[in-house]
Amino acid sequence: AGWRPEWRLKLFCLLLASSLSLAEEQTCTHRGDLEDAQLIKKGDIMLGGVFSFHSSWRNSQDDYEQKPRQLQCTSLNFRDFQFAQAMLFAIEEINNSSDLLPGVTLGYKMYDACGFIARSVKVALTLLNGNDIEALPADACTRPAQVQVIMGETSSSPSAAIATAVGPFHIPMQISHFSTCACLSDKTKYPSFLRTIPSDYYQSRALAHLVKHLGWTWIGAVRSNDDYGNNGMATFTDTAEQLGICLEYSVSFFRTDPPDKIHKIIEVIKSSNSKVVVAFLSHMDLDVLLNEFSVNNLTGYQWVGTEGWMFDSQIAAMDKNRILDGAIGLSIPKAHVSGLREFMFNVKPLNSSNSELFTQLWEALFSCKFKQSNSAEIQKKCTGEEDITTVENSFTDMSLMPIFYNVYKGVYAVAHALHEILNCNKTCDINVQLDPYTILQHLQRIHFKTKEGDEVYFNENGDPPAKYEIINWQRSDHGILNFAAVGLYDASLPADKQLNVKIGSIVWAKNSLQLPVSVCSEKCPPGTQKVLQKGRPVCCFDCIRCAEGEISNSTDSVTCVRCPLESWSNENRTACIKKEAEFLSYKEIMGSLLTAASLFGTCVTVAVAVIFIKYRKTPLVRANNSELSFLLLFSLKLCFLCSLTFIGQPSEWSCMLRHTAFGITFVLCISCVLGKTIVVLMAFKATLPGRNVMKWFGPTQQRVSVLGFTLIQVIICILWLSISPPFPSKNFKEFKDKIILECSLGSAVGFWAVLGYIGLLAMLCFICAFLARKLPDNFNEAKFITFSMLIFCAVWITFIPAYVSSPGKFSVAVEIFAILASSFGLLFCIFIPKCYIMLLKPEKNTKKNMMGK
């Protein structure tokens, strides 16, 4: 039940009244009715117990004219009788044992709180003061506390009330077996409260981790509107948020809420698109909800539950429409206490002091009456000899054994603490003055093993280590519900090992073996990135394909990563692959064709040279100053060969070689042609009378000028290479997915100086040849030179735009093509006509013929 403000007020008044009464009166008398213990047995050391043997009460209207009547408790609650039995069992076991507290007997005193918070506080104070009928001494106003420890209460809210009332005095200690509210861990509010059931703090976190583990990120939640549900849900929500789980809705409910509240909840659940509902409900609230869910056919949802109802066989029995089938959730680990079941089935010892309560119990257990009432219905008459093994009800149901075990552990913890305090070794020192604060200190440090092998200790908040079993509601073929254990949660382990679920053995909602999916958006596959949807929770997103050159290699990645410079995304954007390196190689068709052309040119040049050597004595060769011709042929050969340096992967050497070899050979080549042209011009001038120009441009001058022109280029090249030589480089800009391996110029000035110088010579050569074209020379050489220079210039002028606009390796190809084309131009125009005459028209190759021109 909720921890309502009005109870706090009542409690305060109660405390105030008792302190006032002490101050006023000389002798000690009691206010109000004396309470009668329901179960009592004397011992050397007394333990108190507060249980709700009744779960409800009859509201009586006070008229303020006579003394208020005693609280009328109703609805016998077998569960708390079981807890009381567990406590008796532990006490008797300790009493029987010769190891623990030898020679000391434990006694007990138990009260019925009727599930009523104010009464819980009253009986707690009664235990504290001993103001019961039996133990009232006539004179003493000051006495030690009657009991050292209170075992109980069952629910969180009454426990909190008792802890608030007695906690500040540290007397007595309180140990609860079933109060899970995380609020009770607050030691500033409840300094003397301990418990043997883990705090909901752990349960909420465990639930969130479980939900995350099962891949559900879009869920709904229903909670009890009390300490249990609200506190538990708050922790769950916090943890879930951290784990990236989104709550589509979170509604609260209390069993006394009006029916339209339930209908609203059903509407919310039905209109949602999440398939998983987390129910942080106490079994009493779920009871009410379940009825309405059945009526409204609310099936098909995957329920996730708390220890509040997950292992409650009464809820399971109620669920006729199988709404909760397949539910998965936490429960206190199954336990077994040997001998407890047999002990419990022996009801007779409960008939110790309050025979009226016992009679009620007996009558309820066996549905009989000792005395027939006057009412019409005739009931079976009790004989007092009924056999408990023949009946089946919640008293004989042992499904709450883990909780009985908690009671048992609590009693043992106290016994072990006392054992230490009394310095027990064979015998105990019974004269030690017991002080609850000392007991509390010892209890917090206690660490022992129960006979079942479980360790018992408390952390600094007075909570035991959190350990939960994960159970799954599995319906067998015969319709019998089975709470199957499918995993474990242990908060004492390292974070990554805490949760351990066997997903394979779970049967899900709708009796399916397939793990249900409850997400707002499907996972983003690798190659895409998450983009949140505006105005919706973080679990709702779109998957956007990564851009070119970016990848994501995991599912649900938030960003795409840009690939390193030298690599590029693959088609699926899932990995970076190395960019293809591009250069003109010998292996590809274009490269091999150009190589072949270059080699062919070389061969043709060699062949022409051979022919010239063979016919070197003929007038045709002799007339055409053979020295320059052979030099030209040699340089042409070099021109053809230098194109090969452009093919293949650029290296430091090939880069330096390329342009310089090209520049020097071409200059050599053109200066030879220039020499020839000048010779033609000079020869003509020489024919004019009175001049002997030939003297000025004889073979020596020719050699010197060719050498001189070439030397200038060599100097330019040396300067270029020494100041800023070309080097191999990688071009990433041209293509996105390819690297172009190329030669950087180093210095553009050097490059253009080399080209410019070639151009200059070519122009000079062209002009000279043009001037000489009409001149009658021997075999019209000037005309062919003009023609070849035309081709040369045309090729190189078209080269520039083609070179600039060709991408990647094609620019290199264009350059090679220009080299080859201009070389072939020179070769064919200057030498082929002569070869033609030498080989096929030898009759023209005579001195006469030459001179005839």
CB-based contact 458:175 (threshold 8 Å): no
Query: Looking at 351, 396, 461, 555, which residue binds ligand NAG (CB under 6 A)?
Result: 351
Q: Is 728 within 8 Å of 650 (Cβ atoms)?
A: yes
Q: Pick from 2, 18, 32, 43: which binds ligand NAG (CB under 6 A)?
A: 43
Per-residue binding string, ligand NAG, 369-408, x by CB under 6 A, is ---------------x------------------------
Near ligand NAG by CB under 6 A: residue from 425, 433, 692, 700:
425
Residue closer to ligand NAG by CB (options 571, 843) is 571
Q: Which two tokens stand for residue 826?
A: 């020179």
What is the x/- site pattern for ligand NAG, positions 819-838, by CB under 6 A? --------------------
Altogether, the residues listed in the chain come to a count of 853
CA 254/CA 284 separation, integer angstroms: 9
DSSP string spanning 715-766?
HHHHHHHHHS--EEEEE-SS-SSEEEEEEE-S-HHHHHHHHHHHHHHHHHHH
Stretch that binds ligand NAG, among 269-277, 354-362, 674-682, 811-819 (CB under 6 A): 354-362
Residue type, 654: S
**Measured CA angle at 219 (ends 218, 220), to 5 deg:** 145
Q: Which is nearer to ligand NAG, 292 or 397 (CB)?
A: 292
**H or E, element range at 508:** none
**Minimal distance, residue 573 CB to ligand NAG, in Å:** 9
Closest separation in Å from C-beta 737 to ligand NAG: 14
We find the least distance from the C-beta atom of residue 107 to ligand NAG, in angstroms, to be 6
Residue 247: phi and psi, rounded to 5, are -95, 120
Vertex 80, ends 412 and 71: CA angle to 5°?
Answer: 125
Pick 91 or 609: Cβ nearer ligand NAG: 91
Min dist CB 295 to ligand NAG, Å, is 7
Task: Provide the minimum distance between the beta carbon of 501 and ligand NAG in the complex, in angstroms, as a whole number.
Answer: 25
Task: Name the one residue in this structure whose structure tokens are 């409690």.
Answer: 11
3-state helix, strand, coil in the chain (%, to 5): 50, 15, 35
Which of these ranges, 91-99, 259-267, 695-703, 824-832, lies near ligand NAG under the rule CB under 6 A? 91-99
- For residues 26 and 61, the answer to whether their CB atoms sit within 8 Å is no
Q: In the Cβ-directed half-sphere of 269, how many Cα atoms lie within 13 Å? A: 26
Q: In the complex with ligand NAG, which residue's Cβ is closer, 430 or 851?
A: 430
Amino acid at 423: N
Size of the site for ligand NAG (CB under 6 A): 24
- CA gap 809, 821 in Å, rounded: 18
Please pick, from the candidates 76, 91, 330, 401, the single residue that binds ligand NAG as defined by CB under 6 A.
Answer: 91
d(CA 108, CA 411): 11
Rounded to a whole number of angstroms, the minimum distance from the CB of residue 812 to ligand NAG is 31
Q: Residue 108 CB, nearest distance to ligand NAG (Å)?
A: 7
CA 109 and chain centroid, separation: 54
- For ligand NAG, the closer of residues 90 and 403 by Cβ is 90
Confirm if 485 and 330 have CB atoms less than 8 A apart.
no
Note whether 784 binds ligand NAG by CB under 6 A.
Answer: no
- Mask 296-335, x = binds ligand NAG (CB under 6 A)? -x--------------------------------------
Burial class (CB in 10 A: 0-12, 13-18, 19+), 138: exposed
Among 33, 36, 44, 92, binds ligand NAG (CB under 6 A): 92
Query: Residue 529, Cα to own-chain centre: how many angstroms?
Result: 14
Binding ligand NAG (rule: CB under 6 A), the pick from 35, 80, 93, 325 is: 93
CB of 332 to ligand NAG, least distance (A): 23
Q: 165 near 428, Cβ under 8 Å?
A: no
Near ligand NAG by CB under 6 A, which window of 93-101, 620-628, 644-652, 799-807?
93-101
105 binds ligand NAG (CB under 6 A): yes
CA 63 from centre of chain: 64
Of 199 and 528, CB closest to ligand NAG: 528
**Window 262 to 301, contacts with ligand NAG (CB under 6 A):** 297
Show the binding pattern over residues 193-232: x = contacts ligand NAG (CB under 6 A), - = does not.
Answer: ----------------------------------------
Closer CB to ligand NAG, residue 523 or residue 703? 523
Separation between Cα atoms, residue 56 and residue 74, nearest integer Å: 5
Q: Which stretch binds ligand NAG (CB under 6 A): 90-98, 273-281, 310-318, 507-515?
A: 90-98
State the CB neighbour count (10 A cutoff) for residue 719.
14
Cβ-contact 639, 578 below 8 angstroms: no
The least CB distance from residue 126 to ligand NAG, in Å, is 21
Q: Amino acid identity of 204?
A: S
Q: Which is nearer to ligand NAG, 127 or 219 (CB)?
A: 127
3-class state of residue 545 by DSSP: strand
Least distance in Å: CB of 48 to ligand NAG? 14
- Near ligand NAG by CB under 6 A, which window of 86-94, 595-603, 631-639, 726-734? 86-94
d(CA 809, CA 291): 80
3-state SS, residue 102: coil
362 binds ligand NAG (CB under 6 A): yes
Longest dimension (CA), the chain: 171
Q: Pattern of binders to ligand NAG over 527-556, x per CB under 6 A?
A: --------------------------x---
Task: Report residue 60: phi and psi, to 5°.
Answer: -120, 140
Return the number of the residue (574 or 705) whose C-beta is nearest ligand NAG.
Answer: 574
- Please, which residue, 328 or 563, has the CB nearer to ligand NAG? 563
- Min dist. Cβ of residue 390 to ligand NAG (A): 16
**Closest separation in Å from C-beta 424 to ligand NAG:** 9
State the nearest-atom distance from the C-beta of 803 to ligand NAG, in Å: 37
96 binds ligand NAG (CB under 6 A): yes
Sign of dihedral through CA atoms 756, 759, 761, 763? negative
- Residue given tokens 């410079």 in the structure block: 565
CB of 105 to ligand NAG, least distance (A): 5
The helix or strand, by DSSP H or E, that contains position 277, with its residue range, turns out to be strand 276-280
What is the gyration radius of the CA atoms in the chain, in angstroms?
53
370 neighbors 381 (Cβ within 8 angstroms): yes
List the one residue from 273, 355, 500, 512 that touches ligand NAG (CB under 6 A). 355
* C-beta closer to ligand NAG: residue 119 or 416: 416
Contacts (CB under 6 A) with ligand NAG, residues 551-580 = 553, 561, 570-572, 574
Q: Which is nearer to ligand NAG, 164 or 552 (CB)?
A: 552
Beta carbon of residue 359, minimum distance to ligand NAG (angstroms, whole number): 6
d(CA 613, CA 328): 102
Q: Which is nearer to ligand NAG, 91 or 401 (CB)?
A: 91
Distance of CA 500 to the CA centre of its chain: 18
CA 701 to chain centre: 85
Q: Dihedral angle at the C-alpha atoms of 362, 366, 367, 368, nearest 10 degrees?
A: -70
User: Which positions touch ligand NAG (CB under 6 A)?
Assistant: 41, 43, 89, 91-93, 95-96, 105-106, 297, 339, 351, 355, 358, 362, 384, 425, 553, 561, 570-572, 574
